[in-house]
Structure 1
Amino acid sequence: MSAKLYFVSFLIVIVACICTLWLSKPELSNIDLHKANQYLEKIKKLYSDSFSSHITEDGDVTVDDNSTKDEESIIAAWNNFIKPPATQFKRISVGINSCVDLIVKALPVFEALQIRPGSTKDHALLNNFDDLQETFSHFFSKGSAAERSFTNKEEFEKMVSVADNVPNSQYFLGGNGLLMASKIATNFPEAEVQYIGPVGPKILELIPKRLNIPKESILPHDEVHLILEYKVNDIWGDYVTPVANRFITSHDVSNSEAAMMEIFFESMETYRPDLIIFSGLHLLDSQNPHFFKKRIEMLLPRLQMLPVFVPIHLELASMANVEFVGLVLEKVIPMIASLGLNEEELALLSYVGKGPHTESGPTLKVSDGSTPNNQPEIHKVSDIILWLLKNYGFSRKSFVESRLTRVHFHSLTYHIVGTVPEAWTNSESAVAAGTEVAGRQACNLEQLESDKVELKIPKTFRLHSKDEKLREIDEKRPVISWDVDGYHFVFSPVLVCRHPIKTVGLGDAISSTGLMYSQFLPKYRL
């Protein structure tokens, strides 16, 4: 059978099926039509992937090998480009948030709990299932990752019990700090890694054996975080999610109160690390103002006592309390050397600090379809990173007390690092290594495979607001560097996993890998 005849026959069958469906159910809703359209798109993609991207005028099939050529070129470029720094960190101390993640498909959990889709509203705290429904709907409709604390212990335990019985639910290590420590211990065997945070029996079973856990961290129970995952184009009521992502919730006392903070900083005197990674601060966001102010007051002198030649990296995660974010921005960020965050946290910092591109609200997402996957525009992200470094970072002229010299931004489709170049080098390799590991971890691959990932950044873009040139990615040279006002910036696209197996922990893998490929120059202050 010729390609043309096969294709025409194929279309006739599909059209007949749709007509039959329409005639039998003339009252089809918008969601039903969306499902039908999704089905057609999948059929079309299956045909395209299986047979051809082009049919010639005479009906012959020509195999299109361009569909993965861009990805192949980027993978080859990364493999040739990524180089370790001249001096790699050897002794790393990481803290302070850890848990076991119960990872489960979100929609079956809501169905089992009889939670129905409804209105959207972002609650800073979840007091009941109604708050959960509204907050989940808010982020699900945007395809944005989020984390919120659940105050009702009984309802949270009921939800965990239901989730534990959903098919294919699994337990994994969780918590930004523990995930970063585990990633370094696994991927960088020459490094010695200490982790301090709440560690229960399940965590001890799952952690890499090389990870050093002081006895002060051992607890009789594990803190459980529920990771509610969803796929691209999942439908819940009237909402259709644009990308695969997850919603995290927990009733977690140890982490939400930063209970291990004192032990973590007290250990520095005896452990003497050459890199400190600190995460879990964002979880104080769920506490009342009196409590989180008291904990930050406790933190600041401990940060100040750390030697300036030992960089401390702060990894942020989902936050909602504007007062808390303001304290982090004004008090904590100038005391750390390196900052890791995604578009949600970056936009919130800019909004609270009256920075660029967030005048209308704390979001960088574009909903008009002008950017793929509703991702933030590249020039806006680099503008905000520059604003952070200029206003809260180290400067011999204006802010010599600050230690902030590096910001690592990571999103679904691209990463940007901005640095004070006298303090950090090898940033090109660091960004490339971080973007490369994102695709591998999402697809659960030892090595990237071009047919399992795809390039999703815009065809043209600007690097920053003053950039008068519209750029395009050169797949053979995907890493782009530039300098603005004395700061050094590096950009690299992500090869996004087509069918992600696990979305949680990507930011932690990205940031930890980027740090281990970075070269810190402690004499930058001289």
Structure 2
Amino acid sequence: MAPVTQVVTVGTVCSICIIVISIYIRQPEDDLQRRLTDVLQGLIAVEKQHVTHTPKVAVGYGACHDLVINGHDFLSYDESVGIPQHFDYINSIEELKKSYAYYFRHGAAVERYMSNSTLFDDLVIAARKIHGTRYSLGGNAASIAARLHNEGCEVILGATLTTELQSALPKGLKIVGPLVTKDDVHLIMEYKAGENWGPYTAPRANRYILHNDDNNPLVSSLEAFEEQIKNFKADLLVISGLQMMDNYPFVKGEREARLERIKAQMKSQPASTKIHFEMASFSEPHLINNLIDNIIPYSDSLGMNEQELTNLVSMYQYGNVSLVADSNPRVATVLDQMRQLMRLVKESHQAGLTTRELTRLHVHTLAYQAILTLQKSPWRRSDVAAAKASLTAHRHVCGSNQVDLDKAALIMDNSFSVSVRHNSARVVIEPSHPVSCWSENDGLIQLCVAPVLVCTHSMQTAGGGDNISAAALAVQL
């Protein structure tokens, strides 16, 4: 009987070990799922605090057809790519591949003008033939306008487009601008986190955008839009799409004249109309300096991602372009840059005339949303706006109105420092109350940070920033 007892004892011990091991393996998974659930419920609870009303918003400028395709399916890697390289504009397949590699390896969003119109048309024709290619409404202004309309705002959009593209916009959204027979097309080369292209691996999902626009760089809808908004009495004017001017072959002085006209439009708005400028991927220093002189001084609010934040700070501080930045920066780093940008803009404004004070910054990153406002400003409910922005990020990228936790991940740490400075305060994120807000400078500044339930099954990244910024703005009007 002894051998039998021994076998039973060993079997029992093995069973216990298996149970204990399985508990330890399952415990982190259970904790993670519980944390995801708590964060989602916490964000939705804050989002629901928004009281629906109907603010009036005027959005300029432009629209396009986005032709969305997987970059890997469209561009084949070969040894001729060589060393990845930045180009201000693209003129050949070789330059496109080198440029794609340059940004792909950093997971950086980028938008570039292709100067070779014939080649661009050939690329569009080739893209249409690839299985899975799809058209969608594109352009910063159009995407922002559509989101604001869907959030309950009364919206006027300044855009030059065809009747076909007009039909892609929500009914009830008023479009102002000349009709054309051919829409501008943007070739959107999307890629997913962890995707390989040659020897390079994307650290996050993002896109490379190529365009050869005719209408958007000239802001063709400007005059008609200007006339319509005179009596509209907008609560908010949104300026966007100006990156289409980047490296475009303007006649000498033409771009400056268009920016002067936009500045005049901004200056003509009453104090009761807030003005928001949505940044984008700029690479031409002269254009960014034009924005610093003509657009930002007349804006109450700025929206941007982590790359655009780094780029703008670099231009203010050093006068040069920062082409790429950390694709998943620490919260402390971004918060410091936001404070720095507010200070740099204020100092710049003190050196010249301006009709506005920058009172709001919204930075949207992959892992979190950060909103800074001045307490004396009319911007309210930053906590609700941060929650709304966070949920919109997941919903847009996953292409669903519902948040599926099986397609979600938290890549933000459980706590964060409010600054990179030594001994800075640290904020612990409470999952059931995930939006963290606090005041600084004796209550003059409020900061809110919300984690993003990052979509792990990306359907689309293009238009993400526009939808995120618009959703947050709708809450704060």
The TM-score, its normalising length taken from structure 1, stands at 0.80
Kept in 2: contact 1:56–1:62 (CA 8 A): no
List per-residue Cα deviations over 1:137-175 (Å, max 9, x = no partner): 111010111100111010000100110011110000000
Structure 2 partner of 1:302: 265
How far residue 308 of structure 1 moved from its aligned partner, in angstroms, is: 1.5
Kept in 1: contact 2:113–2:246 (CA 8 A): no
Structure 2 partner of 1:99: 64
1:386 aligns with 2:386: no
How far residue 60 of structure 1 moved from its aligned partner, in angstroms, is: 7.8
Kept in 2: contact 1:68–1:451 (CA 8 A): no
Structure 2 partner of 1:69: 34
Q: C-alpha separation between the residues in 2 aligned to 1:362 and 1:479?
A: 31
1:481 aligns with 2:446: no
Deviates more, 1:155-164 or 1:54-63: 54-63
List per-residue Cα deviations over 1:280-321 (Å, max 9, x = no partner): 112212235744323222222221111121011111111101
Kept in 1: contact 2:103–2:324 (CA 8 A): no
Residue of 491, 497, 508 corresponding to 2:466: 508
Kept in 2: contact 1:110–1:116 (CA 8 A): no
Task: Note the aligned Cα RMSD (angstroms).
Answer: 2.8
Structure 2 partner of 1:211: 173
1:274 aligns with 2:240: no
Structure 1 partner of 2:161: 199
Kept in 2: contact 1:184–1:512 (CA 8 A): yes
Kept in 1: contact 2:113–2:248 (CA 8 A): no
Residue of 118, 141, 148 corresponding to 1:154: 118
SS of the residue 2:358 aligns to: coil
1:255 aligns with 2:211: no
Deviates more, 1:387-396 or 1:334-343: 387-396
Residues 116 and 499 of structure 1, relative CA distance in 2, 3 Å threshold: farther
Kept in 1: contact 2:81–2:94 (CA 8 A): no
**How do 1:218-233 and structure 2 match up within 5 A?**
218-233=179-194
**How do 1:407-418 and structure 2 match up within 5 A?**
407-418=361-372
1:336 aligns with 2:299: yes
Kept in 2: contact 1:394–1:403 (CA 8 A): no
How far residue 269 of structure 1 moved from its aligned partner, in angstroms, is: 0.8
Residue of 490, 503, 513 corresponding to 2:448: 490
Kept in 1: contact 2:315–2:321 (CA 8 A): no
Kept in 2: contact 1:84–1:517 (CA 8 A): no
1:236 aligns with 2:197: yes
Residue of 59, 64, 86 corresponding to 1:122: 86
Residue of 82, 87, 110 corresponding to 2:75: 110
How far residue 516 of structure 1 moved from its aligned partner, in angstroms, is: 0.7
Kept in 1: contact 2:267–2:355 (CA 8 A): no
1:471 aligns with 2:471: no
List per-residue Cα deviations over 1:347-391 (Å, max 9, x = no partner): 111111117xx99956541xxxxxxxx412212211222222233
Structure 2 partner of 1:405: 359
Q: C-alpha separation between the residues in 1 aligned to 2:71 and 2:121?
A: 16
Q: C-alpha separation between the residues in 1 aligned to 2:24 and 2:323?
A: 49
Structure 2 partner of 1:518: 476
Structure 1, unaligned runs of 5 or more: 1-53, 366-373, 520-526
How far residue 121 of structure 1 moved from its aligned partner, in angstroms, is: 1.2
Q: C-alpha separation between the residues in 2 aligned to 1:183 and 1:77?
A: 23
Deviates more, 1:124-133 or 1:168-177: 124-133
Q: C-alpha separation between the residues in 1 aligned to 2:141 and 2:404?
A: 29
How far residue 271 of structure 1 moved from its aligned partner, in angstroms, is: 2.4
SS of the residue 2:84 aligns to: coil
Kept in 1: contact 2:373–2:445 (CA 8 A): yes
Q: Letter of the aligned partner of 1:422 in structure 2?
A: K
How far residue 72 of structure 1 moved from its aligned partner, in angstroms, is: 0.5
Alignment length, in residue pairs? Answer: 453
Q: Letter of the aligned partner of 1:196 in structure 2?
A: G
Kept in 1: contact 2:151–2:474 (CA 8 A): no
Q: C-alpha separation between the residues in 1 aligned to 2:170 and 2:321?
A: 45
Kept in 2: contact 1:351–1:362 (CA 8 A): no
Residues 116 and 166 of structure 1, relative CA distance in 2, 3 Å threshold: farther
Residues 362 and 60 of structure 1, relative CA distance in 2, 3 Å threshold: closer
Residues 360 and 91 of structure 1, relative CA distance in 2, 3 Å threshold: closer
Q: C-alpha separation between the residues in 2 aligned to 1:109 and 1:397?
A: 49
Residues 55 and 198 of structure 1, relative CA distance in 2, 3 Å threshold: farther
Structure 2 partner of 1:49: none
Kept in 2: contact 1:256–1:284 (CA 8 A): yes
**How do 1:363-382 and structure 2 match up within 5 A?**
363-365=324-326, 374-382=327-335
How far residue 101 of structure 1 moved from its aligned partner, in angstroms, is: 0.4
Q: C-alpha separation between the residues in 2 aligned to 1:118 and 1:251?
A: 25
Q: C-alpha separation between the residues in 1 aligned to 2:18 and 2:338?
A: 46
Q: Letter of the aligned partner of 2:127 in structure 1?
A: A
Q: C-alpha separation between the residues in 2 aligned to 1:284 and 1:396?
A: 24
How far residue 95 of structure 1 moved from its aligned partner, in angstroms, is: 1.6
Identical pairs, percent: 27
Q: C-alpha separation between the residues in 1 aligned to 2:104 and 2:71?
A: 10
Q: C-alpha separation between the residues in 2 aligned to 1:454 and 1:138?
A: 27
Q: C-alpha separation between the residues in 1 aligned to 2:345 and 2:440?
A: 16
Q: C-alpha separation between the residues in 1 aligned to 2:276 and 2:155?
A: 15
Q: C-alpha separation between the residues in 2 aligned to 1:58 and 1:262?
A: 70
Residues 394 and 260 of structure 1, relative CA distance in 2, 3 Å threshold: farther
How far residue 88 of structure 1 moved from its aligned partner, in angstroms, is: 4.3
The TM-score, its normalising length taken from structure 2, stands at 0.88
Q: C-alpha separation between the residues in 1 aligned to 2:71 and 2:349?
A: 49
Kept in 1: contact 2:285–2:321 (CA 8 A): no
Q: Letter of the aligned partner of 1:72 in structure 2?
A: T
Residues 57 and 71 of structure 1, relative CA distance in 2, 3 Å threshold: closer
SS of the residue 2:375 aligns to: coil
